[in-house]
Amino acid sequence: MLEVNGLSLSLKGRKILRDIHFTLRPGELVSLLGVNGSGKSTLIRAMTGLLRPEHGEVLVAGLALTGMRGTERARQIGYLPQKANAISCSVFDAVLLGRTPSLGWRISARDSAAVERVLMLLGIEHLAMRSTQELSGGEFQKVAIARALAQEPRILFLDEPINHLDIKNQMELMSLLKKITRELDLVTVSVLHDLGIALRFSDRFLLLKEGGLYAWGDRSVFTAPAIREVFGMEALLHEVAGIPVVLPTYPCCRA
pLDDT surpasses 70 at 189: yes
Residues 33 and 207: beta-carbon distance below 8 Å: yes
Per-residue confidence band for 158, with pLDDT thresholds at 50, 70 and 90 = very high
Q: Which fold has domain 2-222?
A: Rossmann fold (3.40.50)
Tell me the backbone φ, ψ of residue 60, rounded to 5 degrees: -115, 115
- What pLDDT was estimated at residue 245? 87
Cβ atoms of residues 206 and 29 within 8 Å: no
What percentage of the chain exceeds 90 in pLDDT? 60
Secondary structure of residue 144 in the 3-state scheme: helix
pLDDT over 80 (residue 80)? yes
Parse the chain into domains and list their residue ranges.
2-222, 223-255
The Cα 2–Cα 101 span in angstroms is 21
| pLDDT above 60: residue 140 | yes
The closest alpha carbon to 86, from 144, 153, 169, belongs to 144
CA distances from 255 to 57, 240, 250, 252 (A): 47, 23, 9, 8
Confidence class of residue 251 from pLDDT cuts 50, 70 and 90?
low
Taking the C-alpha atoms of residue 205 and residue 229, their distance in angstroms, rounded to an integer, is 15
pLDDT value, residue 87: 78
Rounded Cα–Cα distance for residues 60 and 47 (Å): 10
What is the mean pLDDT of the segment spanning 183-191? 94
Q: What is the pTM of this model?
A: 0.89
Residue 255 has pLDDT above 50, yes or no: no
